[in-house]
Amino acid sequence: MSTERDLVQKFATYAESRRYTRRQIVRAGAALGLSATAVNSVLAMPAFAQDSAASPAADGPVMVPIVGAEMSFDDIKAAIAEEGEVNVGNWTYSANDALIKRFQDYIKDVYDVDIKLNYSGSQTPSTYITDLTSAVGAGDNAPYDVLAIEENYWAEAQAQAAEAGAPMMEDFLPSPLVPNADRVLETLIHAPTSVGFQASASPGITINTDNVDYVTDWDDLADERLKGKLLMWLPGDITGGGILLGTAAALGLDYKDPAQMDEAIAFLVEKVHPNVLKYTNQQPELEELLKSGVVDAATFWNGVARKFYFDGTENFAFVVAESGQYAVNGFMWIPAKPKHPVLAQIFVDWRLSDDAQFPDLEAWDITEGWWSELHEGLMGPSYEAAIPEWIAPVYFDYFPTIDQLATLYKNVDWEYYNQHNQEWYDKWLEGIGL
């Protein structure tokens, strides 16, 4: 009788003979019933391991999307030298400077070219969409080569493009310059236009575990034991949107049925609101009220508990709701008519590399807290092998497993959401008197 070890070896031999991509290995391994550990062992074999310090074109010419030309390593190197820079719109990280340096060093190491990464950080990504819309309307080059922002903005740009009859982004996937996309879960790819770089970003509930052990789902926010001890994020943005969608799911309601969504909003107004000490849209205030013990639970993004952990406070946890989490991950896409299309694709690939997904603290010269801002869960099974030793013992206390990502993290119908979220916020705000 064949052991799993024998099956792994046979599968690896077959996959190599068929020249399987990493994505095909993950799919086929799952179909064969191989465990995640077994699949990871195949992906780690020399025949399939991705060398993060080598060019995807090292073995010969490749057809490069957007450029529409077959390019050798030397061609790509020349294109990088000619482009000279790449413009990326993202968020404000504590480690922005380290990220910039690391990517520039990567290009120097692999292609021996000095380039500049112009990295724009904003906590209001809607400004990027406004800038892009103006450029598209004027027929100009995009002001950014890569946008790495929440998935809902990608959906918004897609909707605007359909309405205007003019593309807002480039088709570039699959791309030989982005081989790491083959490692990413299917739920985190919108081929041919975008790929996620986060796996588990989600609005949700953070609790003080010293005082709360009864919150397992969104509807538990109505528990009377939370009266005066609950802080809620102010309705009006995607954070509140995630709370609305999650509440509907916990109540067994369909958020795309207007009458049922009214029920979910009524529950938040009539059952949850009486427990609320305060509504806020200021993260520092939220963190202070949690850490000081003024409140025992707060609705915000999933990173709060692990941020506290890295600051030395361990009595907080993010609740992965039993009914599920609506994910609002960051996705990368290349706006229409980028000025630097080759470097844009290389940046996307690098952001999906082990080096960027699991930054080395010493090599990047960053703190553990800064690390926790950059990493947002496993992008696919092959990434699990790269979890750093220093966080491995508690990693799954603060990040979901691949199985949880597959079963408890839900995708949003962004077209419907973008059409209706403002009316939901308005009804919620009116109900709570704000």
Q: Please give the share of the chain, as a percent, with pLDDT higher than 70.
A: 94
CATH superfamily of 203-326+411-431: Periplasmic binding protein-like II (3.40.190.10)
Q: Poorest-confidence range of 159-163, 218-222, 275-279? A: 159-163
Tell me the average pLDDT across 84-89. Answer: 97
The one-letter amino acid code at 158 reads Q
CA 352 to chain centroid, in Å, comes to 11
Which pLDDT does position 421 carry in this prediction? 94
| 403-415 tens-digit pLDDT | 999 899 999 999 9
Topology alike, domains 62-199+328-399 and 203-326+411-431: yes
Locate the domains of the chain by residue range: 4-43, 62-199+328-399, 203-326+411-431
- Strand 330-333 and strand 316-319: the pairing is unpaired
Which pLDDT does position 2 carry in this prediction? 57
Q: Poorest-confidence range of 22-26, 197-201, 265-269? A: 22-26
Q: Kindly provide the b/e burial profile for residues 118-130, where b requires at least 16 CB atoms within 10 angstroms of the residue's own CB.
A: ebbeeeebeebbe
pTM of the model: 0.82
Q: Poorest-confidence range of 25-39, 50-64, 79-93, 108-122? A: 50-64
**Cα separation, 251 vs 168, whole angstroms:** 37
Confidence of residue 43 (pLDDT cuts 50, 70, 90): confident
**Cα separation, 223 vs 227, whole angstroms:** 8
Does 62-199+328-399 carry CATH code 3.40.190.10? Answer: yes
Which pLDDT does position 172 carry in this prediction? 97
